[in-house]
Amino acid sequence: MTDQSKIPLPPEFGKSTGPSLIERASGSFDFRTLTRPVLPDLPPAPQPTIAPVAAPRPVAAAVVESPREEPSPAPAARPFAGPRHKIDRAHLREQCLIEPESAVTGTLEEFRIVKRQLLRTAAESADAVAKRILIASAHPGEGKTFCAVNLALSIAAEKDNEVLLVDADFAKPSVLSTLGLPGGKGLMDALADPALNVEDCVIGTDVAGLYVLPAGNATGSDTEYLASARTEDVLARLTANAPNRIVIFDSPPVLAASPAIVLANHVGQTVVVVRADMTGEAALRDAVGLLGACADIKLLLNGTRFSTTGRRFGTYYGYKE
């Protein structure tokens, strides 16, 4: 069995027998070499100069674009402010013209056919100039004013259109006398006087949708005024904010005066009136050639006594010649 008695301590335990282990180690090693040397007192280091810090520049707030506003719709067409006058119906009947609010006649039916083609062209074209229609003829007496007035009266009866009849025959105006309207300032006055608004020269009538612009006072430079840059501005004002307004120009004869040739530059459609048994082929060709600035030229046969097809417009409604 193992002896578990206490192990006897050496007799020298607890007695100081010599230097300690640490003391002996310090004698063998110089611990001072391991300590940080003490440096002499140095003058205080100069403090760095701290520049004042500029205040931070304010950062602009992010600009948030507001949603782009849609352009407001164009204002409604402003009615012409000129005075309204009554058209002489009896005078219209005497001249065999269309009488507003009257029974259907052969003349009315004929011009219904004519206006349909012109209105269709104006509606299908993206160019507003197609709503300007020039009525011309090669020579005087071929019926251009008769056709221009009848066409204007027929278009005025439309439910979706209105018409402005412009007397552009400055030398011999006849639209006002044909309708029985008083005279006044007109297109030539507006072209010659930049301070005059052409809208103020328009005459209203008692026929719904029908307006008339007189020729105005003739000058010795009618063609030159028409050829000026102001003409397009004046004509544009006649249809401003009125997309359904048709403008009809009754011009002087092409081979007798020059204004029709200049007006052809400002219209989208031209109707050349050809008088049956009167207008010669050579004159017609010359007139059409001079109006070449207009890309759309139509011919209207006037004064014929018979129809090769036997058609007689208006008879279906009881009208008899």
- One DSSP character per residue, 113-171 reads HHHHHHHHHHHH-SSGGGGEEEEEESSTTSSHHHHHHHHHHHHHT-SS-EEEEEE--SS
> What's the rounded Cα separation, in Å, for the pair 293 and 134?
12
Decide if 168 contacts 199 (C-beta within 8 A). Answer: no
What pLDDT was estimated at residue 241? 86
What string of pLDDT tens digits covers the 321 residues of the chain? 555 555 455 555 455 555 655 555 555 545 455 445 544 555 555 555 555 555 555 555 554 455 555 544 444 445 576 678 999 999 999 999 999 988 899 899 999 999 999 999 999 998 889 999 999 999 999 999 999 999 999 999 999 999 999 999 999 999 999 999 998 899 999 999 999 999 999 999 999 999 999 999 988 899 999 999 999 999 999 998 899 999 999 999 999 999 999 999 999 999 999 999 999 999 999 999 999 999 999 999 998 876 656 566 555 565 555
The answer to whether 138 and 168 have CB atoms below 8 angstroms apart is no
pLDDT at res. 35? 46
Contact criterion met (CB below 8 Å) for 248 and 235: no
Q: Which CATH architecture has domain 84-304?
A: 3-Layer(aba) Sandwich (3.40)
Contact 297, 270 (CB under 8 A): yes
pTM value? 0.73
d(CA 260, CA 196): 23
Which residues fall within 8 angstroms of residue 171, CB to CB, at 6 or more apart? 218, 222, 252, 257
Cα–Cα distance, 247 to 251 (Å, whole number): 12
The predicted pLDDT at position 268 comes to: 97
* Residue range 57-77, pLDDT digits in tens: 555 555 445 555 554 444 444
- Structural contact between residues 249 and 267, judged by C-beta atoms closer than 8 angstroms: yes
58: Cβ contacts below 8 Å, ≥ 6 apart: none
CA distance 272 to 301: 9
